[in-house]
Homo-oligomer: A and B are copies of this chain.
């Protein structure tokens, strides 16, 4: 599925194409020099109108890390990673600066566009950090689960208005890497000049491909654990995963929470 024939790749593109989320880490710590490079890489990302509307909070306190792992949808593996960064969309800093300059931007801050700007800024910075980490041979995983108990997590991190945790990113030395997951057929996500509404057929085929992938992964895990691959258990397809996600994580509180923190009011 992933043949590049005679196309000329390079180290960076190979790093990108090999991406997998890693949830099992060794005890080895990531060095301080490496962490600094990760953070500098994050900062080097583009930023909408150069607002730099994000903040990165690293959880270095082990007890807090365990609390946050539990609050992030009960994912204990988070606390086993060397580093846990929480990426926040942040317009508080810009607001403060404008208050000192006596420029009133509160109406703009409360709008949906400002919310997009800050969410995108946090995402671009995070993806740079992830790519930098993977280029060093480290493993990473995004933790959307920091939004699972967003009220408590925001309190613990003492986040002011116009700051919300978009996701976390854990980084560490991988103890295990899965094979890269097959993506949707390119034609399903890419089109020219206008939106392509006719992709549903390709998706059912993809659904099966992903089911096969998970079955293969389960067989390999069983083999690695020295177990016999037992009866063929049914494995989740892509569409089953989608249904599960929406029902398992509805996060109905999100709009109310964001409104209370200043966001998305107009």
Within A24-43, which residues are at the interface with B (CB < 8 Å)? Answer: 33, 36-37, 39-41, 43
Copy total for this chain: 2
Known: A189-B54, A194-B158. A101 touches B250 (CB 8 A): no
A105 an interface residue at 8 Å Cβ cutoff?
yes
Q: Are A128 and B159 in contact (CB under 8 A)?
A: no
Report how many residues on chain A are interfacial, defined by Cβ distance under 8 Å: 120
Across the interface, A15 reaches (CB within 8 A) one of B12, B18, B92, namely B12
Known: A44-B180, A101-B239. A49 touches B131 (CB 8 A): no
Q: Are A193 and B60 in contact (CB under 8 A)?
A: yes
User: Contact residues of A with B, CB < 8 Å?
Assistant: 2, 4, 7-13, 15-19, 21, 33, 36-37, 39-41, 43-46, 48-52, 54-61, 64, 88, 90, 92-94, 96-98, 100-101, 103, 105, 107-109, 111-114, 116-117, 119-120, 123-124, 126-128, 130-132, 135-136, 140-142, 144, 147, 156-160, 163, 166-167, 180-181, 183-184, 186, 188-197, 199-200, 203, 238-239, 241-243, 245-247, 249-252, 254-255, 258, 264, 266
